């Protein structure tokens, strides 16, 4: 079947002898390219081409006005706003822009549909007053401001129109309105021309009036792209076409061109796929099966999937024409400037401007930017490592410079300069432009294109602020930077008529393809749904003939039906996964196809699930591993290392064999291990003067007086660069203080009727043992928190800031030690007991007890090793026999670790 463009060109050429006086007017710039190609193919001889132009450019010619850029329009609008609104009621540019964009959109619609502004704004203001009827109550200031806003709105509209017209440029609606005013004089200048309007559907009132005037004067003809079903009353796609056919006087004496029949024997498939990735990947599979892409279109109803689509195209496609621009916000360099702005905005937020310090996360975010790390990655990562290691929560510019030598600082000076922003916004923009120029020599062609586009963005901001001077602070600059990024795109360049056409829905107007693949056919995307930002209520829109979501749904219904009507192969893909609120279901356009054609092929894609046996990670012990294990056990194995093996053998392997350590991270909130270290150190420093001496009540009272001083000293030592004056850290400081106070209170109660002598604090003990079957000595090392004597009973005490319960230290059979991780506390305590008794030659004539003081379970006091079988009896004395029994299990664990036949097996049931 012939394409619409081919049919139009053939008909026009058959009816017009003169070619060079024709003017083709089409809905989009893209369609102009295809019409031009078709005209060249159909012309029998060399001649001048007719004029081929998009409707927007054509209206600008009639109006003799230029289209203003959206960002510049906002600046112009604010200039008007400052003159209209009294100074005491004026908002900042930042606050103004939040609602001004919506107001400008409404102004545009009002002018496009030639609405009488006096009547419109009068009705709008009255309606708002009715909605806020106060009866006998005095209105709130908020209500007064709200109504006053709508009173100002009309005046802002009129003043903006005057200002723009005086400079001969305007937004789209204003240009259309001016075209109507200038239409009579324009018609006189084109009496020798013939205008061909082709492929239109939903026209605004201004377009309707212009086209009808051209038709009625005999200067134009119009071709509609429709089919019989669209002209049926039940089809929403033909709402506008039926209206024009019925209401336009021209069609009482002239035929309605045209009504085509749809393609017969069309291969249509409706495919449901979970999530966006599956949709695009399946579209890529469909494309890979095609022999030719010259008449194929991949249409993205959701244009945000462009990046994903480009990465999913089959390698067989060697030419792609992309009609959509690539969003600037998705280009890697976009995050660079966003990071710079956020760095300085948070500096203001945290009130660190005076000290020129920055929040560490913002600094790391900037220095980890992928675009920067392509050039000076080693230097930037060096800075990041020092910030983490030294625990800088706020880091100054001077500190960052001190991390680098002179050569390194010179090499990254283009970034260091950005850490010192001037107050003047024009100079801030200049610094951003200087950064782009500094980066340019270090990147490839594509990346230079990215940089150049951002250079244009900042040049635009610079020009606008030089002209209008509305951007007063960094927050406003950041706002407009992000606004430009949301609206602007990087255009692709290429041969528009070759290869696969990758398009958005609106770009398909007038064009026909043999193979059509459409993705994201879900409610809320196609059609877009009811959500739109406007100050104009639905009733007012209906009364004045402005478009609502109903008309917009009809527009997309037309585009959808028109696109697939001549295609041979149609693949319609939708997302089967709805969101948590029940939205995102299959588009009603698909439901209509299913009802009208019950035999249409339907497929639901499901991911292939390959059942694989879940095998645990096993690491066999090679000669190299065994050699490293020998080194570990010869140098000294600690109780905590053995506990780590019981927790997860693979974790032990990573730490002891591979020597993998957790990466340093900035400790913004005091971590549990830091808290534990501080408490240990404070208690050690309190009791140090009493080693070898008896402790009395007065000594504990003196310790109470040292708590604050020692806590501050140790937090400064172990929580470097961190603050404990505010937030969670202040609470953690108080928790530590509370733990120590409660501990000392228990010590005082203990000393009421008991005698306590400190034997040693944190002694580093070591001993060497020989184990049968192992041909080298095993060295055991450990550090005991406290050794004391209570009424002649020697006690080995391990402090734990976490929670430990008495049941964790109840052991009847030492073979239980390797069964569960909770028993590793008992293993540690027993190994400390062995180290102490072995090194100190303890003769066991005195009683020996060992256990834990848990700061999260202080009410339970000293939790002792308990060997009793009875729940109601306690057997706390550690004898030489108990230690010998324990060392048998210890030897078994060591043999297992060193056994070349026993691999390291990952424990998937770790408790945390």
pLDDT tens column, 816-865: 888 778 888 999 999 999 999 998 888 888 899 999 999 999 999 999 99
Closest residue by Cα to residue 73 from 152, 151, 174, 149: 174
**pLDDT tens-digit map of 248-257:** 999 999 999 8
What is the tens place of the pLDDT at every residue in 475-511?
A: 999 988 888 887 778 777 767 778 899 999 999 999 9
Given this model, what pLDDT does residue 143 score?
52
Q: What is the pLDDT of residue 635?
A: 93
Here the contacts of 769-777 (C-beta below 8 Å, separation 24 or greater) are 769/887, 771/891, 771/894, 771/895, 772/891, 773/895, 774/894, 774/895, 774/898, 776/630, 776/633, 776/634, 777/634
Q: Label each residue of 254-311 as H, E or C.
A: CCCCCCECCCCCCEEEEEEECHHHHHHHHHHHHHHCCCCCCCEEEEECCHHHHHHHHC
What pLDDT score was predicted for residue 832? Answer: 93
Radius of gyration in angstroms for the set of CA atoms belonging to the chain, rounded to a whole number: 40
Mean pLDDT in residue range 368-396: 88
The answer to whether the pTM exceeds 0.95 is: no
Least confident of 227-236, 381-390, 494-503, 698-707: 494-503
Q: What are the tens digits of pLDDT across the range 40-71?
A: 998 877 788 899 999 999 999 999 999 998 88
For residues 139 and 307, the model is more confident at: 307
Give mean pLDDT, residues 403-416.
90
Percent of the chain's residues with pLDDT above 90: 56
H or E stretch at 58: helix 55-63
Q: CB atoms < 10 A from the CB of 908, how many?
A: 10
862, β-bridge pairs: 853
**pLDDT at 122 (0 to 100):** 82
Residue 270 has which token pair?
């409706």
User: Taking 80 as the threshold, does the pLDDT of residue 736 lie above it?
Assistant: yes
Model confidence at 728, pLDDT cuts 50, 70, 90, reads confident
Sequence-ordered list of residues with C-beta below 8 angstroms from that of 807, at least 6 positions apart, any chain: none
Contacts of 475 (CB under 8 A, 6+ apart): 94, 345
pLDDT over 60 (residue 291): yes
Strands (E), 105-239: 169-170, 194-198, 220-223
pLDDT band at 131 (very low <50, low <70, confident <90, very high): low
Residues 6+ apart with CB under 8 A from 362: 339, 342, 343, 346, 347
Per-residue pLDDT averaged across 375-392, rounded? 89
Domain edges within the chain:
4-64+182-252, 72-167, 267-325+494-604, 334-490, 622-662+762-897, 666-755
Question: Residue 294 above 70 pLDDT?
Answer: yes
- Over residues 711-715, the mean pLDDT reads 89
595 Cβ contact partners less than 8 Å away, ≥ 6 residues apart:
none
What pLDDT, in 10s, does the model give residues 658-669? Answer: 988 777 677 777
More confident residue, 463 or 870: 463
3-state secondary structure of 225: coil
- Give the confidence band of 423 by pLDDT, cuts at 50, 70, 90: confident
Report the pLDDT averaged over residues 771-784.
Answer: 92
Domains 4-64+182-252 and 267-325+494-604 agree in fold:
yes
pLDDT for 133: 54
CATH no., domain 267-325+494-604 = 3.40.50.300
Per-residue pLDDT, 237? 92
Does residue 575 contact residue 522 with C-beta atoms inside 8 Å?
yes
Distance CA 244, CA 326 (A): 37
Does 673 score more than 90 pLDDT?
no
Q: What does the pLDDT read at residue 584?
A: 67
In this prediction, residue 322 carries a pLDDT of 87
User: According to the per-residue pLDDT averaged within each range, which of 56-60, 592-596, 610-614 is highest?
Assistant: 56-60
Looking at residue 335, its pLDDT comes to: 87
At 579, the pLDDT band (50, 70, 90 cuts) reads low
Residue-wise pLDDT for 893-908, tens only, equals 999 999 999 999 988 7
If DSSP codes are grouped into helix, strand and coil, which group holds residue 729?
helix
The pLDDT of 243-272, averaged and rounded, is 89
Instruction: Please give the average per-residue pLDDT across 740-760, as a whole number.
Output: 93
pLDDT at 821: 81
Per residue in 150-199, pLDDT tens? 778 889 999 999 999 999 999 999 999 999 999 999 999 998 899 999 99
Task: Give every CB contact of residue 636 below 8 A, 6+ residues apart in sequence.
Answer: 766, 779, 780, 781
Q: Which residue has the higher pLDDT, 113 or 727?
A: 113
Q: Is the pLDDT at 211 greater than 90, yes or no?
A: yes
Whether 446 shows a pLDDT value over 90: the answer reads: no
CA-to-CA distance for 885 and 865, rounded, in angstroms?
Answer: 14
CA 687 to chain centre: 52
- What six digits make up the tokens of 453? 């586009």
Answer with the residue of higher pLDDT: 483 or 793: 793
SS (H, E, C) 102-121: HHHHHHHHHHHCCCCHHHHH
Residue 162's pLDDT is 95
Task: Check if CATH label 3.40.50.1000 holds for domain 4-64+182-252.
Answer: no
For residues 439-459, average pLDDT: 85
Residues whose CB is less than 8 angstroms from the CB of residue 21 and which lie 6 or more positions away in sequence, other chains included: 50, 192, 193, 194
Mean pLDDT across 262-282: 89
Confidence of residue 812 (pLDDT cuts 50, 70, 90): confident
Average pLDDT over residues 633-652: 91
Res 300: pLDDT:
95
């Amino acid at each position: 079947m012939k394409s619409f463009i081919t049919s139009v060109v053939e008909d026009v050429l058959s009816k017009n002898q003169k070619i060079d006086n024709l003017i083709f007017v089409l809905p989009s710039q893209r369609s102009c390219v295809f019409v031009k190609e078709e005209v060249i193919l159909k012309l029998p001889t060399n001649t001048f081409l007719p004029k081929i132009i998009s409707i927007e450019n054509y209206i600008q010619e009639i109006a003799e006005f230029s289209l203003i850029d959206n960002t510049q329009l906002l600046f112009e609008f604010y200039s008007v706003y400052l003159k209209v609104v009294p100074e005491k009621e004026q908002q900042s540019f930042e606050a103004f822009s939040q609602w001004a964009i919506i107001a400008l959109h409404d102004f545009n619609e009002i002018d496009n549909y030639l609405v009488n502004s006096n009547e419109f704004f009068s009705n709008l203001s009255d309606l708002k007053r009715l909605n806020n009827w106060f009866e006998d109550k005095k209105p709130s200031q908020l209500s007064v401001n709200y109504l006053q806003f709508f009173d100002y709105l009309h005046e802002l509209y009129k003043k903006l129109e005057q200002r723009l017209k005086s400079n001969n440029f305007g937004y789209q609606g204003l240009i259309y309105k001016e075209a109507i005013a200038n239409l009579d004089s324009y018609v006189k200048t084109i009496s020798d021309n013939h205008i061909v309007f082709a492929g239109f559907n939903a026209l605004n009132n201004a377009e309707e009036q212009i086209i009808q005037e051209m038709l009625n004067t005999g200067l134009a003809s119009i071709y509609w792209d429709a089919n019989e079903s669209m002209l049926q009353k039940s089809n929403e796609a033909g709402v506008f076409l039926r209206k024009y056919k019925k209401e336009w006087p021209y069609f009482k004496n002239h035929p309605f061109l045209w009504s085509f029949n749809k393609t017969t024997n069309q291969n249509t498939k409706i495919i449901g796929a979970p999530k966006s990735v599956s949709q695009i990947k399946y579209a890529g599979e469909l494309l890979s099966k095609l022999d030719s892409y010259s008449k194929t279109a991949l249409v993205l109803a959701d244009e945000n999937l462009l990046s994903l689509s480009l990465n999913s195209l089959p390698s067989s496609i060697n030419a792609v024409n992309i009609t959509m621009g690539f969003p600037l916000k998705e280009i890697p360099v976009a995050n660079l400037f966003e990071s710079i702005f956020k760095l300085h905005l948070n500096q203001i937020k945290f009130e660190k401007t005076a000290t020129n310090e920055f929040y560490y996360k913002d600094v790391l975010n900037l220095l980890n930017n992928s675009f920067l790390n392509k050039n000076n990655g080693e230097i930037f990562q060096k800075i990041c490592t020092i910030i983490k290691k030294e625990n800088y929560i706020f880091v100054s510019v001077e500190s960052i410079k001190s991390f680098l030598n002179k050569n390194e600082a010179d090499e990254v000076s283009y970034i260091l300069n950005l850490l010192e922003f001037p107050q003047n916004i024009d100079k801030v923009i200049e610094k951003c432009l200087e950064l782009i120029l500094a980066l340019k020599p270090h990147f490839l062609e594509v990346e230079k294109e990215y940089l150049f586009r951002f250079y244009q963005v900042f040049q635009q901001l610079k020009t606008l602020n030089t002209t209008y001077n509305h951007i007063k602070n960094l927050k406003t600059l950041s706002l407009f930077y992000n606004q430009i990024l949301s609206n602007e795109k990087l255009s692709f360049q290429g041969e528009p008529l070759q290869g696969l056409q990758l398009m958005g829905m609106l770009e398909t107007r007038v064009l026909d393809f043999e193979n059509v693949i459409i993705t994201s056919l879900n409610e809320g995307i196609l059609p877009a749904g009811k959500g739109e930002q406007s100050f104009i209520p639905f009733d007012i829109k209906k009364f004045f003939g402005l478009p609502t979501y109903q008309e917009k749904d009809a527009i997309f219904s037309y585009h959808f039906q028109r696109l697939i009507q001549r295609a041979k192969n149609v693949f319609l893909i939708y997302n089967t996964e709805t969101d948590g609120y029940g939205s995102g279901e299959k588009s009603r356009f698909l439901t209509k196809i299913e009802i009208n054609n019950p035999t249409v092929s339907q497929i639901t894609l499901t991911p292939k699930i390959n059942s694989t046996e879940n095998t645990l990670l096993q690491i066999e012990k090679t000669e190299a591993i065994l050699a490293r294990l020998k080194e570990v056990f010869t140098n000294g194995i600690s109780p905590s290392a053995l506990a780590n093996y019981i927790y997860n053998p693979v974790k032990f392997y990573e730490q002891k064999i591979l020597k993998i350590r957790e990466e340093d991270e900035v400790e913004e909130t005091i971590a549990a291990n830091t808290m534990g270290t501080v408490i240990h150190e404070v208690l050690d420093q309190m009791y140090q003067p009493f080693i070898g001496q008896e402790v009395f009540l007065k000594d504990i009272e003196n310790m109470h007086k040292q708590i604050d001083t020692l806590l501050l000293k140790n937090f400064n030592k172990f929580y470097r660069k961190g603050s404990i004056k505010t937030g969670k850290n202040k609470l953690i400081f108080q928790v530590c203080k509370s733990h120590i106070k409660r501990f000392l209170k228990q010590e005082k109660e203990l000393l009421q009727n008991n005698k306590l002598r400190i034997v040693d604090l944190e002694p580093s003990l070591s001993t060497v043992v020989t184990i049968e079957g192992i041909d080298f000595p095993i060295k055991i090392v450990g550090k005991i928190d406290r050794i004391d004597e209570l009424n002649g009973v020697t006690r080995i005490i391990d402090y734990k800031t976490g929670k430990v319960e008495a049941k964790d230290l109840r052991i009847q059979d030492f073979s239980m030690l390797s069964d569960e991780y909770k028993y590793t506390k008992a293993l540690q305590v027993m190994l400390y007991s062995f180290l102490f008794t072995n090194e100190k030659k303890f003769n066991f004539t005195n009683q020996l007890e060992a256990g834990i003081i848990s700061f999260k379970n202080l009410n339970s006091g000293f939790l002792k090793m308990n060997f009793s079988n009875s729940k109601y009896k306690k057997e706390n004395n550690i004898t030489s026999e108990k230690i010998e029994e324990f060392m048998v299990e210890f030897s078994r664990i060591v043999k297992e670790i060193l056994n070349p036949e026993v691999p390291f097996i990952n424990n998937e049931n770790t408790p945390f």
